[in-house]
Amino acid sequence: MVFEQPLSPNDILALLGNHVEFIGDKNSTITGINEIHGVENGDITFVDHPKYYEKALKSKADFIFLDKKPDDNYGKSLFITDDPFRDYVKIVKHFRKFIPQDTFVHPDTKIGEGTVLQPGVFVGRNVSIGKNCIIHSNVSIYDFTTIGDNVIIHANSVIGGDAFYFKRRPDSWDKMETCGSTYIGNNVEIGALCTIDKGVSTETSLGDGCKLDNHIQIGHDTKIGKNVLIGAHSAIAGVVTIEDNCLIWARVSINKDLVIAKGTTILATSGVDKSSLPNQVLFGSPAIDYRKKWREMASMRMLPDILDDLIEMKSKMK
């Protein structure tokens, strides 16, 4: 998320209180706040696990909430706090407040020529919808969503819901507040009862020409390229990249942080736990090359006969 006005470290310290120690140049400028997957120069981010200290310190972010002083800060400005996650979320909630809405369609929504919104459609703040779109009944389009031209969204789908991102505490889960956005390209069709979560702090995107069946979940910060087809009941986790011209059949699940390479086909009911190669065809759970998986399945069907033969041989040897 980019701040509407640049901030100084003193602005952040004033919001958080005296428990935070700042190390760095207090005359520097903070331009945005982002989770580690989407940081840019001028951003503030957080890290609270030793596994990710180096990744954060070597990232593009210029400002970092950290729970200890590192041996080398790699030129970063640091906010030292006992709970980086808590303070990061406090800043997000301050600058991206929830604002209740008393109309179905926000009055500032930009709606292109020829676009039709059926009864019951909800459209939040900072939304732009292109030309010649059809948005069917009871679709919810959350704040900070951009939809291109010639898009069809079928009934009861939700575009731009909050990211499913929580931090475990000893007796509860703390929510990572969402401050990102959602982008839907041109000539896209989204089936009924689909959910596309907005980015935690950047953008979830669906490229031109994509076609989604019914009952599909797309997680936060996932980037889907052009002309991707996804079958019903598929679930795609957060921070996944699906490149152009992929074909994903029904009931496929894809784990987080993976790259599905250009032209990949994933056959129905597969579970993907590793990134793919271009034009690969995958099947199974965990998904592997479809020919290898079919040979494996054929071999499994032979096992009962093999077992019977072994039992018979053993009985003859007695």
Question: What are the structural domains, with CATH classification, of the chain?
Answer: 2-95 (3.40.1390.10), 110-290 (2.160.10.10)
What does the alpha-carbon distance between residue 116 and residue 103 come to, in Å, rounded to a whole number?
A: 17
* pLDDT for residue 108 is more than 90: yes
pLDDT confidence of residue 318 = 67
pLDDT confidence of residue 270 = 98
b/e burial code for range 192-224 (CB count within 10 A of at least 16 → b)? bbbbbbbbbbbbbbbbbbbebbbbbbbbbbbbb
For residue 36, which amino acid is it? I
Q: Catalytic residue among 136, 154, 215, 220, which? A: 220
220 is catalytic: yes
Task: Please state the φ and ψ torsions of residue 63, each to the nearest 5 degrees.
Answer: -135, 135
Contacts of 103 (CB under 8 A, 6+ apart): none
Q: Look at the alpha carbons of 5, 10, 15, 19 in this order and tell me if their dihedral is positive or negative.
A: positive
Q: How far is CA 174 from CA 8, 59, 165, 167, 263, in A?
A: 27, 25, 9, 5, 38
* pLDDT for residue 6 is more than 80: yes
Query: What region does 54 belong to: left with phi over 0, alpha with psi -120 to 50, or beta?
Result: alpha
**pLDDT tens per residue across span 20-63:** 999 999 999 999 999 988 899 999 999 998 888 999 999 999 99
pLDDT confidence of residue 215 = 98
Check if the beta carbon of residue 220 is closer than 8 Å to that of residue 210.
no
Residue with the two structure tokens 């580690």: 36
Q: Residue 265, Cα to own-chain centre: how many angstroms?
A: 21
Which of 192, 200, 121 has its CA nearest to residue 160? Answer: 200
Residue with the two structure tokens 């986790």: 237
Check if the beta carbon of residue 85 is closer than 8 Å to that of residue 172.
no
Which of 9, 12, 10, 23 has its CA nearest to residue 73? Answer: 23
Which of 189, 202, 269, 273 has its CA nearest to residue 234? Answer: 269
Q: What is the mean pLDDT of residues 273-286?
A: 97
**pLDDT tens per residue across span 212-223:** 999 999 999 999
**Cβ neighbours around 187 below 10 Å, total:** 17
Token readout for 195 is 């959910």
For β-strands 173-175 and 166-168, DSSP reports them as antiparallel
* pLDDT for residue 202 is more than 70: yes
What does the alpha-carbon distance between residue 168 and residue 280 come to, in Å, rounded to a whole number?
A: 37
**Cβ neighbours around 280 below 10 Å, total:** 18
What does the alpha-carbon distance between residue 56 and residue 63 come to, in Å, rounded to a whole number?
A: 10
pTM of this prediction exceeds 0.75? yes
Q: What is the mean pLDDT of residues 126-146?
A: 98
pLDDT confidence of residue 60 = 95
